[in-house]
């Protein structure tokens, strides 16, 4: 034991002598490199740890969010479900990926109730959201255009969505029906309605002024490409299982 203590003491003395022989500037550089390396690895671990796997579904009641949720989870439509007072939530591997012979990251999916009094629950999930799917009823779109545009406007001007640049997919559901509107028609109508909203709301100094975020460019008609976050439009049919475009969106932001 005494021999080991002596050896350690000898090593300590040699290290101290080596340090005293080094120029002060060189020591500062060495300490700085070690410190920066340590900070880099800490930040890298934190970024990996906080990478989100949450996808949030939002939209008006009756748009088909819950049907899409179950199609993605287990390939069934679960028709006849009723509006819940709480979000429909689960963590799972997408149904279409179950038979793949490789490790796949599960998705944490949240179906937020569409009733106006329950939409505040959306704010609870936005801080950890990797992507948001805004579901639109393509069949009964025009009667609900104003309400859908107002809800989408509130999402696109939400402080968290803007600061985190949360990607948004406008998903036109029920496109299997012959009388359903196309995604291009829905996109143009939503842009026109949001353009009216941003003008009227800015004029009376309401939501935009309060949260510091505005949509569009002054003097130009609003289009989704002007948003700071990426806004895309796609089609789906929850009842028939045509959900490939929303799966593609999910896997773009929640890696396998």
114 annotated among ligand-binding-site residues = yes
| 248-133-202 Cα angle (round to 5) | 135
Does residue 185 sit in the same domain as residue 76?
yes
Question: What is the pLDDT of the chain when averaged over all its residues?
Answer: 83
> Is 212 among the annotated ligand-binding positions?
no
Known binding residue 76? Answer is no
- Most confidently modeled range among 2-6, 26-30, 81-85, 105-109: 105-109
16 shares its domain with 66: no
Q: Once rounded to an integer, what is the mean pLDDT over residues 34-49?
A: 57
pTM over 0.85: no
Does residue 239 sit in the same domain as residue 157? Answer: yes
Q: Is residue 61 part of an annotated ligand binding site?
A: yes
From 28, 48, 68, the end of a domain falls on 48
Can you give the pLDDT at residue 121?
84
How far, in Å, CA of 184 to CA of 181, rounded? 8
> Which CATH number characterizes residue 66's domain?
3.40.50.300
Whether residues 93 and 31 share a domain: the answer is no
pLDDT at residue 183 in the model? 97
Q: Strand ranges (DSSP E) for the chain?
A: 54-59, 88-92, 107-111, 129-137, 168-173, 231-235
Contacting residues for 56 by C-beta, under 8 A, at least 6 apart:
109, 110, 112, 122, 125, 126, 129, 131, 132, 133
Same domain, 94 and 109: yes
Examine the domain organization and report whether 11 and 90 are in the same domain: no
Q: Are residues 226 and 102 in the same domain?
A: yes
pLDDT of 235 over the 90 cut:
yes
Whole domain around residue 236: which residue ranges? 52-253
Of 68 and 20, the structure prediction assigns the larger pLDDT to 68
112/88 Cα distance (integer angstroms): 7
Per-residue pLDDT band at 193 (split at 50, 70, 90) = very high
> Does 41 lie in the same domain as 112?
no
Q: Determine whether the annotation assigns residue 173 to a binding site.
A: yes
Model confidence pLDDT, tens digit, residues 74-124: 888 665 455 556 678 999 999 888 877 678 889 999 999 887 777 778 999
Output the pLDDT for position 208: 43
Same domain (yes/no): 122, 19: no
User: Is 65 annotated among the ligand-binding residues?
Assistant: yes
User: Does 201 share its domain with 222?
Assistant: yes
Question: Domain tally for the chain?
Answer: 2
Judgement on whether residues 23 and 144 belong to the same structural domain of the protein: no
Q: Which residues lie below 8 Å from residue 198, measured CB to CB, with a gap of 6+?
A: 153, 208, 214, 215, 216, 222
> 242 pLDDT exceeds 90?
yes
Q: Is 13 annotated as a binding residue?
A: no
Q: Are residues 68 and 130 in the same domain?
A: yes
- Residue 66 marked ligand-binding: yes
CA diameter of the chain: 91
């Amino acid at each position: 034991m005494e021999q080991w203590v002596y050896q350690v003491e000898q090593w300590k003395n040699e290290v101290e002598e080596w340090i005293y022989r080094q120029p002060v500037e060189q020591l500062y550089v060495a300490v700085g490199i070690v410190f920066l390396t340590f900070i880099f690895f800490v930040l890298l671990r934190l970024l990996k740890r906080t990478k989100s796997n949450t996808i949030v579904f939002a939209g008006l009641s009756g748009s088909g969010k819950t049907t899409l949720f179950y199609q993605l989870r287990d390939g069934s439509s679960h028709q006849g479900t009723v509006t819940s007072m709480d979000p429909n939530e689960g963590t799972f591997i997408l149904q279409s990926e179950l038979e793949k012979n490789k490790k796949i990251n599960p998705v944490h999916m949240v179906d937020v109730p569409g009733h106006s009094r329950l939409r505040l629950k959306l704010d609870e999930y936005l801080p950890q959201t990797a992507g948001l799917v805004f579901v639109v009823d393509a069949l009964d779109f025009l009667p609900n255009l104003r309400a859908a545009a107002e809800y989408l406007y509130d999402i696109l001007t939400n402080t968290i969505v803007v600061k985190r640049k949360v990607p948004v997919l406008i998903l036109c559901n029920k496109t299997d029906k012959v009388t359903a509107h196309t995604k291009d028609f829905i996109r143009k109508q939503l842009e026109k309605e949001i353009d009216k909203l941003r003008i009227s709301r800015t004029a009376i100094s309401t939501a935009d002024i309060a949260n510091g975020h505005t949509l569009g460019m002054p003097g130009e008609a609003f289009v989704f490409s002007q948003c700071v976050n990426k806004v895309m439009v796609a089609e789906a049919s929850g009842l028939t299982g045509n959900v490939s475009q929303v799966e593609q969106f999910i896997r773009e932001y929640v890696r396998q």
